[in-house]
Each structure stands twice: as C-alpha cells, then as structure tokens.
Amino acid sequence: MCGIVCYFANRPFKANLINALNKLSHRGPDHSGVEFFNNGKIGIGHSRLSIVDLSGGNQPISNEDKDIFVVVNGELYDYQKIKISLIKKGYKF
C-alpha cells in the first residue's frame, strides 16, 4: 500500500513534507516523489509500492504542461483502455 502526504503552510517549509514522506517509506519502499507549489508553501508527496507497473508509475503525476499534478493510491482499473482512449484524443504519456 502506498502513502500520500500533503503540506499547506503560510511560509515555505519543505522539510516538513519530506519528513512526513520519510515516515511513510515503509508503506511504499519502491519510490518516493514530491512536488512543491506556491513558492514551497504547498506540497504533495507519494511513497510508492510497485505491484502492477514495476518499471514506471512514479508519482506525483503531471499533465504534459506540468501545470496539474496529482497523487493517487490504488489501481486504475481498465487503465489500458483508458490510456488508448486518451492517446486518441491527443494526450501524451
């Protein structure tokens, strides 16, 4: 099972999110990643346990413009069909 953290603050303090993510490393020992926004006042992080996609799937995930980010926990069912549908619409992976 993966771990997800987020951080909102009045001032930049990235170490808080990193420390929280480190505490969740046992939930997702295969990879961890973070993204910070609003000059470090907002952050999201993900600790990953690889089950289905062992070589990819690291998070946070962004769109191609890198202006939308998300972290998710769990499996997206029918992801192969969804991916094909999105590629046909012009999305890039």
* Known catalytic membership, residue 2: yes
Mean pLDDT of the chain: 87
Backbone angles phi, psi at 9, to 5 degrees: -150, 165
Overall average pLDDT of the 71-85 stretch? 85
Comparing CA positions, the residue from 77, 78, 53 lying closest to residue 2 is: 53
CA–CA distance, 93 with 88 (Å, rounded to integer): 12
Mean pLDDT of 40-49: 91
Find the domain containing 31 and state its range: 3-88
User: Which H or E element spans position 69?
Assistant: strand 69-70
Comparing 62 with 28, the larger pLDDT belongs to 62
Q: What is the mean pLDDT of residues 55-78?
A: 84
Residue 81 in domain: yes
In a domain, 93, yes or no: no
Exactly one of 2, 5, 21, 24 is catalytic; which is it? 2
* Number of separate domains in the chain: 1
Specify the length of the chain in residues: 93
What is the band of 25 on the pLDDT scale with cuts at 50, 70, 90? Answer: confident
CATH number of the domain encompassing residue 66:
3.60.20.10
